[in-house]
Amino acid sequence: MSDFYSTRRLPPYVFEQVNRVKAAARGQGADIIDLGMGNPDLPTPKFITDKLIETAQKPRTNRYSASKGIPGLRKAQANYYARRFGVKLNPDTQVVATLGSKEGFANMATAITAPGDVVLCPNPSYPIHAFGFLMAGGVIRSVPAEPNEDFFRSAERAVKHSIPKPIAVIVSYPANPTACVASLDFYRDLIAFAKANDLFVLSDLAYSEIYFGSEPTPSVLQIPGAMDVAVEFTTLSKTFSMAGWRMGFAVGNERLCAALARVKSYLDYGAYTPIQVAAAAALNGPEDCIAEMRETYRKRRDALVESFARAGWDVPTPPASMFAWAPIPPKFKELGSVEFSKLLIEKASVAVAPGIGFGEHGDDFVRIAFVENEQRIRQAARNIRKFMEGADQTLHNVLPLTKSA
């Protein structure tokens, strides 16, 4: 049987290859230290779950909710943007609640893409950035993930040589998987570039609150005139450890928000009302839990970088996000990220995410998530050190390493 049109446009899900090896190892009793998926292990703050329970016990909250978000939730998100970024939003026309930022991106792609439309997308990047548009019938032109002059040079070439002309450019900072961050100067140049070339800007700000320097990460909407062309996606998944709650937002340009809201109105009735009420409580509530979350990830980051270095694997220190973007050690580089990730599971009982899952330019890297405590991270480093020190003997039949067929 042939694949359907949309599924035919999707490559094999490379993470599933690693997941099968991980499941097999666990089935044999291995204690796998899983640093692969960015699935927060920290508890949701108690005041948020208390509000969920309180609201769920009230009559009528079990009914269909509002697809674009209940008014109190949209107002809470607008207030958050005003406090955090100094950005004024109209909660009625410039805020749409989504079932996580991933769903928001996919539905935005459906809302604005005609067959054959071209979109500029960083490579490597979070998969939905590209595949949301591919499933909607669009075409992707890759640009570098780093927010520098190479990004604009590549984007200019793509605009010049693409037929039809691109309709949008995607950015994501702090970036998943690379953890790089953007400055307001970059966003200023980006908005100017978008306006000069009649492009929409779709910004993913999922990791806005996980930064480790003294300066908070900015929003593209802080740039004067950005609201004319830009929409930004955020989520409560990481900020409040609410990944399974599926609550996010699209904010910004009224035309884009209206298109998203219209598509969503045909697809869903919104999140469960108690979840929306609890999400509003999170956005309106005390922020000490955010600072505690940030400090936990900072300690895990430092433990990972330090212990992996002692194990013989130099991992650059990420300035933000809950990930390290780690170059594959030279001895194993020719394996590629999928085979190296499998090898780590089999020989070191450590799971990471293969970089090629984020785009072909990620194949020399793996992504390591800070989703285990410091003790487990240091244990992962000890396992890796033992594996790497003995690799010449234990893998003598495959070294020098080559890609498998």
Residue ranges of the chain whose pLDDT lies below 50? 397, 399-405
Both tokens of 399, joined, read 């070294």
Residue whose C-alpha is closest to residue 60's, from 279, 271, 272, 265: 272
pLDDT at residue 16 in the model: 82
Q: Burial level of 201, CB count in 10 A (0-12/13-18/19+)?
A: buried
Residue whose C-alpha is closest to residue 35's, from 388, 328, 324: 324
pLDDT at residue 398 in the model: 52
- The whole-model pTM stands at 0.92
b vs e for 219-229, b when ≥16 Cβ sit within 10 Å of the residue's Cβ?
A: bbbebeebbeb
pLDDT at residue 85 in the model: 97
pLDDT at residue 392 in the model: 72
pLDDT at residue 405 in the model: 37
Cα(83)–Cα(222) distance, integer angstroms: 12
Are 271 and 247 in contact by the 8 Å Cβ rule? The answer is yes
pLDDT at residue 401 in the model: 44
Q: Burial level of 54, CB count in 10 A (0-12/13-18/19+)?
A: middle
Q: Which residues contact 12 (CB under 8 A, 6 or more apart)?
A: none
The torsion region of residue 246 among left (phi > 0), alpha (psi -120 to 50) and beta comes to left
Q: Burial level of 107, CB count in 10 A (0-12/13-18/19+)?
A: buried
CB atoms within 10 A of CB 374: 16
CB atoms within 10 A of CB 265: 13
Terminus-to-terminus CA distance in the chain, angstroms?
Answer: 25
Partners of 201 in the β-ladder: 169, 230
pLDDT at residue 10 in the model: 76
Residue whose C-alpha is closest to residue 188's, from 179, 178, 196, 180: 196
